[in-house]
Structure 1
Amino acid sequence: MTAQPEFRRVDLPENAQIDRAIHRVAEATHRLNEAVQRAVAAGVSVELVRVSRHHDGTGHWGDQVVPTIRATMPDQSA
């Protein structure tokens, strides 16, 4: 009978955590861009405005944004 292999946890290198963070931001940005396209197709204008900058105290930072939405009013001149 063959002995079963022993499985044990191996910690991923620090770069993997950074790569995951970058991929999370990229995926969220992609979804945001798709949502903006759908909103524009529905007849609204969308502007993303930076409202703050998050700092971690060690020199890293990231911009935080909120959407400004303006709906196009239907033409009532008819």
Structure 2
Amino acid sequence: MNVQTRVKERAEEQSTAMSADQQAAIRTLANDLHRLNHAVMKAVEAGVSVELVRSARHHGGGGNWGDLLIPVIVTQAQ
């Protein structure tokens, strides 16, 4: 089974107990993560190494939180 397909299936399974607004936010997040992963692959193919590191944690109240990321880029010496 394709990894991307399984991630999508897991997200859909988890979203059944969420509100419509929460489901829309998760779909947006999943789409943006797909684009981010594609961008990381393009950067790697261009010759750099990419590490995503948590830079902060956003707290939304009510116990909800999310990790914010920054890229650490390493170029190879020519």
Structure-1-length-normalised TM-score:
0.75
- Cα displacement string for residues 22-71 of structure 1 (whole angstroms, at most 9, x for unaligned residues): 00110110000000000000000000000100001210000000000011
Does structure 1 residue 47 correspond to structure 2 residue 20?
no
* Structure 1 segments unaligned to the other structure (5+ residues): 1-13
Counterpart in 2 of 1:21?
A: 25
Counterpart in 1 of 2:75?
A: 71
Larger Rg: 1
Counterpart in 1 of 2:40?
A: 36
Q: What is the CA–CA distance in structure 2 between the aligned matches of 1:16 and 1:32, rounded to whole Å?
A: 24
Structure 1 residue identity aligned to 2:53: V
Q: List, as ranges, runs of 4+ consecutive aligned residues in structure 1 with deviation greater than 4 Å.
A: none
Normalized per residue, the structure richer in helix is: 2
Identity %: 51
Count of residues in correspondence between the two structures: 61
Superposition CA RMSD, Å? 1.1
